[in-house]
Amino acid sequence: MLHFLRQALGTQTTPSNQVLLGLALFLTILVMQPVATEVYHKGWEPMDQGKLSAMDAFTEGSKPLDAFLLRFAREKDIQLFLNITHTPAPRKPQDLDMKVLAPAYILSELKAGFQIGAVLYLPFLVIDLVIASVTVSIGMMQLPPVMVSAPFKILLFVLADGWNLIIGSLMKSFYA
- Is the pTM higher than 0.85? no
Closest-CA residue to 74 (of 110, 34, 33): 110
* Distance (Å) of CA 94 to CA 11, 69, 127, 159: 44, 10, 47, 45
Residues of the chain with pLDDT > 90, as a percent, come to: 25
pLDDT tens digits, one per residue of 34-82: 999 999 999 888 888 888 888 999 888 899 999 999 999 999 999 999 9
Are 79 and 50 spatial neighbours (Cβ–Cβ below 8 Å)?
no
Neighbours of 131 (CB within 10 A): 20
- Whether residue 176 is predicted with pLDDT greater than 70 in this model: the reply is no
Q: What is the pLDDT of residue 120?
A: 86
* Distance (Å) of CA 64 to CA 1, 4, 50, 61, 70: 26, 31, 21, 7, 10
Residues of the chain with pLDDT > 70, as a percent, come to: 99
Contacts of 15 (CB under 8 A, 6+ apart): 6, 23
Q: What is the pLDDT of residue 105?
A: 93
- 103 preceded by a cis bond (ω within 30 of 0): no
